[in-house]
Amino acid sequence: MHFFAPRLGIIFLCLFPSSIVRADPGAEFNARCAQKIHASLTDSLSGMSPSANPKANVDALLESAEFIEHFALFLNTAFNDDPTEALPEDVVYHLTKHVLEKKKPYADLFTGRYDFTFNKPATGLDRVEVVASPQGVGYFETRPWKLRYMGNEENGVRLMAAYRILNNMTGLELSAVTIDPNKKNTAAGRRDAPCNVCHYNSWFALDKVASVLGTVDFAPQLNLVKFNPPDGSVKQILGDIPVRNTRELTEAVVKSENFSFQACRLSFRFLTGRNENVCEEKLFDQCMTNFKKTGKIQDALKTYILDANFCQ
Amino acid sequence: MKINTFNIFCTLLILASACKGRSKNPNASAIAIAPVPSGNSAESANGNDKSQNGSLGSNGQTEEEQLGLMCTPGGTYSYVGLGGVKLEVGRARSAVNRDRHQVKSLNVLRDSYRQSFGVLPPSFTRYTATFSVKEPRWLSPTMPSAFSNYALFVMGREVGQAVIRGDASWAKRTGDEEIAEGCKLIAAKAWIRTISDEESQSCATYLSRPEFAELSAEDRWSYVFAAMLTSVEFITY
């Protein structure tokens, strides 16, 4: 008996090792996976139900109001430097919600013909509504956005807007540097080295890009701001692409690899808090393929969530 | 002879299974506050370089392989962007690790307390500002800090006290088996998994530490709750 009992135990463990060592690890894994997916997409666990297949309801989550709110907050934070108290200024937030709710392509955020109306009812909460506008170019031609990023350059050159457009659409990251405040902080100074690298001699040449955006006149005494349209002439920018205005600029960027690349990178960052690394290149390739097929940011996100490693 | 060989085979199988089980949850074996895992600490050229990619397990696998995380560097495509720039250049060369975990936001933390234990710590609202600054239409990341760890510990203890108050059986969990069962119950709720016997023993050791000798059983258990609810497995997803 002394020798028999342990042997039986060993045989039993061999037949049912998982039931002894771990209690239904599959169900536990699924529960953790469901929690991760739900929290990643909606920033909450409310409404989450146990499921044998936690990835089965990803589509439903991607249509939920909670996901739309969370992703709109994410993009608003990613595309602006600082928060603002002013509701109308957060055009990225408002238009992202609209694009996701209406199941529009992600590119609509930057090229869609939209504008906003701000309603301040006597009672209830202030509201911003997205409306159709033939002159609209995503949120880039809305007055709140143009005011927020009008900049303070001489001659009304909209350098800040040029940088913001490229930053939001391609992920371009630059730091403004004033090397010699007496000489370089002028249009002529920016043509000299080393300022000319960013302002004139690269694919993102900020002065060239700004030249298709028109200019801004600011009368501080009157607190008047007037935006002037571009002159209509063709400029060779973004490498060597002919562009005349904001619409042609954003449409050119949407056609580039930069745009899809940034959409997939942002999606990865939304789900993990960081950019993809070399170990995740093939998964990233899959995201690019899926995103290009539909143009929907939801499909980029789904690529990562449905990956076998997502819940590990 | 036949039985001896079978016994050896089974023993090896059991050991391998136990090792694998432990390796899946490396942060849970110790009841302590641990840093959020980061892949940046295990840098290697391509993630498959075993000599650089973390320590090898007894079965010759890297930690990533034991976890089932596959590093597949070398994407099929190169992406040429505006101006002829290759967009994939400059990616971090970190190995796949558990750095896809994110620290729970205050919203998720609140829901976790409620879903796992059915209570919200009374201090929750008071500690809100410790985790992140709330701005309108802005996603402020949760910033782990000494203050937030302290807040998590206090709130974890409050959760424990609430659970213990609602179930008199916790005060009676003083024997070895009852303690092991109690530890497993908390872990099942907090970590959503069954802890190993080794982890259960670690929990029991924590409960029996000399500093707790003067405390009631309820108080001792509340500290176990606090420790588990401060661990990486609870505060991340």
Q: Calculate how close chain B gets to A28, using CA atoms only, in Å.
A: 5
Q: Calculate how close chain B gets to A39, using CA atoms only, in Å.
A: 6
Q: Tell me whether residues A45 and B112 touch, CB distance under 8 A.
A: yes
Decide which of A265 and B77 is more confident: A265
Q: Calculate how close chain B gets to A312, using CA atoms only, in Å.
A: 7
Task: Give the domain ranges of chain B.
Answer: 2-29+101-235, 37-99
Q: Tell me whether residues B39 and A280 touch, CB distance under 8 A.
A: no
Q: Tell me whether residues A271 and B105 touch, CB distance under 8 A.
A: no
DSSP lists the bridge partners of residue A116 as: A130
Query: Residue B129: pLDDT above 70?
Result: yes
Q: Tell me whether residues A202 and B83 touch, CB distance under 8 A.
A: yes
User: Average pLDDT, stretch A41-55?
Assistant: 87
User: Average pLDDT, stretch B127-142?
Assistant: 87
Q: What is the DSSP letter of B173?
A: T
Query: Residue B174: pLDDT above 70?
Result: yes
Interface predicted TM-score of the whole assembly (ipTM), two decimals: 0.85
> What pLDDT sits at residue B133?
79
For residue B100, name the pLDDT band (cuts at 50, 70, 90). Answer: confident
Please name the member of B74, B102, B108 whose beta carbon is closest to the beta carbon of A44. B108
User: Average pLDDT, stretch B4-13?
Assistant: 38
Please name the member of A31, A84, A170 whose beta carbon is closest to the beta carbon of B192. A31
Greatest CA separation for chain A = 101
What's the pTM value of the predicted model, to 2 decimals? 0.83
Q: Are A104 and A112 in contact (CB under 8 A)?
A: yes
For residue A184, name the pLDDT band (cuts at 50, 70, 90). Answer: low
Query: Residue B31: pLDDT above 70?
Result: no
Q: Tell me whether residues B10 and A13 touch, CB distance under 8 A.
A: yes
The CA–CA distances, whole Å, from B195 to A2, A155, A241, B108 equal 29, 68, 60, 23
Please name the member of B21, B39, B72 whose beta carbon is closest to the beta carbon of A282. B72
- Give the up-direction half-sphere exposure of residue B197: CA atoms within 13 A in the CB hemisphere: 6
User: Average pLDDT, stretch B5-14?
Assistant: 37
Decide which of A160 and B41 is more confident: A160
Q: Tell me whether residues B70 and A309 touch, CB distance under 8 A.
A: yes
Query: Residue B47: pLDDT above 50?
Result: no
